[in-house]
C-alpha cells in the first residue's frame, strides 16, 4: 500500500507524541523544560557521557546510549530530534512497501523501527543495537503495542555477525560513529579530487567502524535487496570515502541521493545525503564526488571591480568551494606573498596574497575543501596583510 507523505508525516507526529517526545522551536522553551525534568546532577552526568563519547571509544559509546535510554532521559534528549525523525522516518517509510523483511541496524530505542512496524503489520521487522538498555526500552514499547511483526536483538556487529536474510536494510546515523573524523583529504589544495589510495580508504573505514559494519550488513542483504542509509557525511571529505565504501561493496544508487535539512530546536542541520541503494547488476547513476554547488559559482569579475562606496565592505567575499572558481578567474594577478605547507593537523594549506587591477585579494585553500577568497580596494590592503599574518601564525 502506497501512503502519501502528508499521511506519513501526521502518523509519525502522533507516534512521536505517543513516545512522550515534544516538538520545540525555541531553545529558551526547550532548555527551560529540560531544567524542569532533569536535576543539575543528571545534566552533569549527561554532559560527562557526551564528552567521553566524542573520543570515539567503543565502551564509552555504549555507555552513552545506555544512559540515554533511561526513561527519564530519552524524552528530553530525543525531543530535540523530532524533525530529524520526521525527515528520515517519512522518507524511509515511503520505500517500505517494496520490502517484506526489514532490518533496522543501530535502531537505538526503536522510535523509528516501531513506527515502521505499526504502519506495515504485514511485514517483518528486526531492530538491532549494541546498547542493551536501548533494546530493553524498544522491546517494552513494542510489547505495550502488542506488535507481533517486530523483534529486537542486542548485537554488536563489530564483534558478532548477524543472521537471517533481508530484502531491506536500514541504517540511519549508525554506520559512521566518528563524528569528528575529517575524512579523506584531496590530492592537493588545488583540487577537490581524491586520489584512489586503498590504504587511505581502508584507514577511514577502520577508524570510523564503517567497513566492518557494512561488510556484516551486506552479508545478510539478499541478492535483490535494497539498503537505505543516512549518515552525517555531507562534507565532501567524508562523503567521498563513504560513497566509495558503498560502491566497493557492489551497492549502487537506486535513486538520486537527497540532501536532508531539519532543525534540532533552533539549529539548522545539513544532514545526509539520504541514499537508497540496490544490488542489481545494472549501473543506474554515477556517484557524485564534486562539492555541492553554490551561488558563488556565478562569479562576475567586472561586477567585483565596482566599489560599494564603503571601503570597510570587501568588494567580494566567498568562503565556499566556489571561491576556487573565482580565484582561477583572476588570471592577470600579481602574487605578492604565498605559502604552501603542512598544518599541524596534517592538512596541506595554501595562502596567497596579491593584487590584480589595483585591487587586493587573499586566497586560502586546503585539502579538506575549505576555500576562502576576499577582494578589497587598495586602501584596505593592510587588512588582508593582517589576515595573512594571522594564517601564518596558525600554521606554525
Residues at the interface with ligand SAM (CB under 6 A): 65, 106-108, 112, 128-131, 134, 155-158, 172-174, 177, 213
From residue 58, give the alpha-carbon distance in Å to each of 54, 106, 197, 207, 273: 11, 14, 27, 11, 25
- At closest approach, how far in Å is the CB of 132 from ligand SAM? 10
- At closest approach, how far in Å is the CB of 108 from ligand SAM? 3
Specify whether the CB–CB gap between 109 and 177 falls below 8 A.
no
Question: With respect to ligand SAM, which residue has the nearer C-beta, 226 or 347?
Answer: 226
Question: With respect to ligand SAM, which residue has the nearer C-beta, 276 or 304?
Answer: 276
- At closest approach, how far in Å is the CB of 275 from ligand SAM? 14
Question: With respect to ligand SAM, which residue has the nearer C-beta, 133 or 384?
Answer: 133
Question: With respect to ligand SAM, which residue has the nearer C-beta, 155 or 237?
Answer: 155
Neighbours of 223 (CB within 10 A): 10
Q: Residue number with the shortest CB distance to ligand SAM?
A: 106
- At closest approach, how far in Å is the CB of 86 from ligand SAM? 12
Specify whether the CB–CB gap between 203 and 181 falls below 8 A.
no
Question: With respect to ligand SAM, which residue has the nearer C-beta, 28 or 219?
Answer: 219
**What length is written for the chain?**
396
Query: Which ranges in 19-110 belong to alpha helices (H)?
Result: 27-37, 40-54, 58-68, 74-79, 82-93
Question: With respect to ligand SAM, which residue has the nearer C-beta, 95 or 319?
Answer: 95
- At closest approach, how far in Å is the CB of 83 from ligand SAM? 12
CA proximity to 329, closest of 352, 298, 371, 306? 298
The backbone torsions φ and ψ at residue 293, rounded to the nearest 5 degrees and listed phi first, read: -75, 150
Q: Which three cell numbers stand for residue 162?
A: 548477524
DSSP letter string, 308-356 = -S-TTS-SEEE-STTHHHHHHT-TT-EEEEEEEEE-TTS-EEEEEEEEE
Please give the DSSP secondary-structure letter assigned to residue 160.
S
Specify whether the CB–CB gap between 327 and 299 falls below 8 A.
no
Question: With respect to ligand SAM, which residue has the nearer C-beta, 209 or 241?
Answer: 209
- At closest approach, how far in Å is the CB of 7 from ligand SAM? 21
- At closest approach, how far in Å is the CB of 172 from ligand SAM? 4
Question: With respect to ligand SAM, which residue has the nearer C-beta, 174 or 349?
Answer: 174
Please give the DSSP secondary-structure letter assigned to residue 105.
E
Question: With respect to ligand SAM, which residue has the nearer C-beta, 80 or 367?
Answer: 80
CB-neighbour burial class of residue 217 (10 A; exposed 0-12, middle 13-18, buried 19+): buried
- At closest approach, how far in Å is the CB of 177 from ligand SAM? 6
- At closest approach, how far in Å is the CB of 88 from ligand SAM? 6
Specify whether the CB–CB gap between 333 and 357 falls below 8 A.
no
Amino acid at each position: 500500500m502506497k501512503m502519501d507523505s502528508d499521511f506519513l508525516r501526521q502518523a509519525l507526529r502522533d507516534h512521536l507524541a505517543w513516545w512522550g517526545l515534544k516538538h520545540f522551536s525555541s531553545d529558551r522553551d526547550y532548555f527551560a523544560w529540560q531544567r524542569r525534568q532533569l536535576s543539575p546532577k543528571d545534566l552533569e552526568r549527561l554532559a560527562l557521557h557526551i564528552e567521553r563519547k566524542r573520543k570515539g571509544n567503543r565502551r564509552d559509546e555504549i555507555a552513552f546510549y545506555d544512559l540515554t535510554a533511561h526513561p527519564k532521559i530519552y524524552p528530553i534528549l530525543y525531543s530535540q530530534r523530532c524533525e530529524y525523525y520526521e525527515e528520515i522516518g517519512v522518507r524511509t517509510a515511503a520505500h517500505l512497501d517494496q520490502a517484506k523483511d526489514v532490518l533496522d541496524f543501530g535502531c537505538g530505542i526503536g522510535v523509528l523501527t516501531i513506527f515502521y512496524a505499526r504502519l506495515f503489520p504485514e511485514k517483518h521487522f528486526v531492530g538491532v543495537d549494541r546498547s542493551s538498555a536501548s533494546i530493553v526500552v524498544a522491546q517494552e514499547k513494542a510489547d505495550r503495542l502488542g506488535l507481533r511483526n517486530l523483534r529486537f536483538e542486542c548485537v554488536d556487529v563489530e564483534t558478532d555477525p548477524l543472521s537471517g536474510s533481508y530484502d531491506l536494510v536500514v541504517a540511519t546515523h549508525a554506520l559512521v560513529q566518528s563524528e569528528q573524523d575529517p575524512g579523506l583529504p584531496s590530492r592537493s589544495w588545488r583540487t577537490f579530487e581524491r586520489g584512489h589510495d586503498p590504504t587511505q580508504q581502508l584507514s577511514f573505514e577502520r577508524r570510523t567502524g564503517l567497513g566492518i559494519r557494512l561488510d556484516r550488513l551486506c552479508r545478510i542483504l539478499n541478492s535483490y535487496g535494497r539498503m537505505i542509509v543516512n549518515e552525517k557525511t555531507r562534507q565532501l571529505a567524508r562523503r567521498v570515502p563513504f560513497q566509495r565504501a558503498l560502491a566497493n561493496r557492489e551497492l549502487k544508487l537506486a535513486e538520486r541521493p537527497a540532501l536532508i535539512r531539519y532543525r534540532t530546536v533552533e539549529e539548522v542541520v545539513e544532514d545526509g545525503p539520504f541514499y537508497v541503494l540496490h544490488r542489481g547488476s545494472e549501473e543506474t547513476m554515477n556517484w557524485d564526488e564534486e562539492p555541492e554547488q553554490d551561488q558563488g559559482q556565478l562569479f562576475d569579475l567586472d561586477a567585483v571591480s565596482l566599489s560599494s562606496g564603503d571601503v570597510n565592505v570587501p568588494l567580494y567575499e566567498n568562503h565556499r568551494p566556489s571561491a576556487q572558481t573565482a580565484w582561477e578567474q583572476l588570471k592577470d594577478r600579481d602574487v605578492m606573498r604565498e605559502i604552501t605547507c603542512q598544518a599541524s593537523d596534517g592538512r596541506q594549506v595554501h595562502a596567497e596574497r596579491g593584487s590584480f587591477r589595483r585591487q587586493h585579494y587573499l586566497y586560502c585553500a586546503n585539502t579538506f575543501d575549505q576555500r576562502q577568497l576576499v577582494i578589497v580596494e587598495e586602501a584596505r590592503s593592510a587588512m588582508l596583510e593582517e589576515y595573512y599574518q594571522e594564517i601564518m601564525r596558525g600554521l606554525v
